Amino acid sequence: MLVHTTLPSQNLAALEKYQFIHHFVPHAVLQTRARLLSNAALVAYIGLILVVFALFRILPLFFPGVLGYASNINIVDLLTDTNEMREKQGLEPLRLNPQLTKAANLKAQHMFKNNYWAHIAPDGTDPWTFILSQDYDYTYAGENLAKNFNSSDQVVDAWMKSTSHRQNLLNGNYDEIGFAVVNGVLDGYETTLVVQLFGTPKVLSAVVSKEEEGALLAALAPANPQEAPQPALIPSPQQVLPAVDVSIASKSIGILFGSFVLALFALDVWYSKKKGILKFTGHTVAHIAILLFAILGVLFVLSPGTIL
């Protein structure tokens, strides 16, 4: 005997709704977690995170300059922040030297042209080559580098938190300093490079005067839209606004995705306790932890700000 029955359409709709709910809450009959918190779902989430991370790394190879890090850094603020740190330690402020500033600009341009991020170029060119090219005969010299920071104070703060960079910045042997803030594409990303060169001329009388420094600072100061631009030895850096800010995009994705998973986790615990249908095991906690570590890992790798 063969019997075939059909459920009324309203019952089918109720059944579909009942099944859909278990994407978000545990199943009372099957004693299983919400489908969106199942092992398969957690593995899929991790895979999705890796795909997003790969896209952030691969896209610049095919579309250079589309991805990048927004920044608003200028030389005047860098000099002010640097000298404030020195004065707190009882050190003399450094004077901005036009030769060191031009040398720093050449170093930044050289890194963009040859697509490298290092103190010494792949062809062996070192920082002192750029300094000597400007006829700056020095007794002491040093270099700090930074890239992909959002503001001038972030750059100086990062240098101060690094032992080797801090030693350069607070070195009492230096009398003068030069900066370059240059925008360009490095490794496919829209990037802002900051070069900080320190120096002490062999002939102390060659130290730049306050008047010369003042003229250079005036030329490098951020332009006022209502004033005619002043001629500058080095082009004043402009604010960088890439088509897609990697920092903001990665943080937004991480926050939204992390909030979604944590909300599911909280709902799962609450519903399980309310209905008494699920023994929440350590395995789920471990999987959630792995997922959150994956999100934090991507945010850390893609976060802006690197010094050298």
pLDDT value at residue 118: 94
Of the two residues 256 and 231, the one the predictor is more confident about is: 256
As a whole number of angstroms, the distance between CA 34 and CA 236 comes to 56
As a whole number of angstroms, the distance between CA 102 and CA 99 comes to 5
What pLDDT digit, counting tens, does each position of 162-193 carry?
A: 999 999 999 999 999 999 998 888 877 778 89
Of 2-11, 68-77, 112-121, highest mean pLDDT:
112-121
Residues 6+ apart with CB under 8 A from 21: none
pLDDT value at residue 15: 41
Q: What is the largest CA-CA distance in the chain?
A: 112
pLDDT of 304 > 50? The answer is: yes
Tell me the two tokens of residue 10: 């309203």
What pLDDT digit, counting tens, does each position of 126-137 carry?
A: 999 999 999 999
Of the two residues 286 and 140, the one the predictor is more confident about is: 140
pLDDT value at residue 140: 94
Q: What is the identity of the amino acid at 55? A: L
Of 75-89, 208-222, 247-261, highest mean pLDDT:
75-89
pLDDT value at residue 134: 95
Q: Are the beta carbons of 287 and 42 closer than 8 angstroms?
A: yes
Number of Cβ within 10 Å of residue 79's Cβ equals: 25
Cβ-based burial of 263 (10 A; exposed 0-12, middle 13-18, buried ≥19): exposed
Residue 93 exposure: Cα atoms within 13 Å on the Cβ side: 15
pLDDT of 110 > 50? The answer is: yes
- Predicted structure pTM score: 0.62
Q: Which domains does the chain have, with CATH numbers?
A: 30-62+245-307 (no CATH), 70-220 (3.40.33.10)
pLDDT value at residue 42: 75
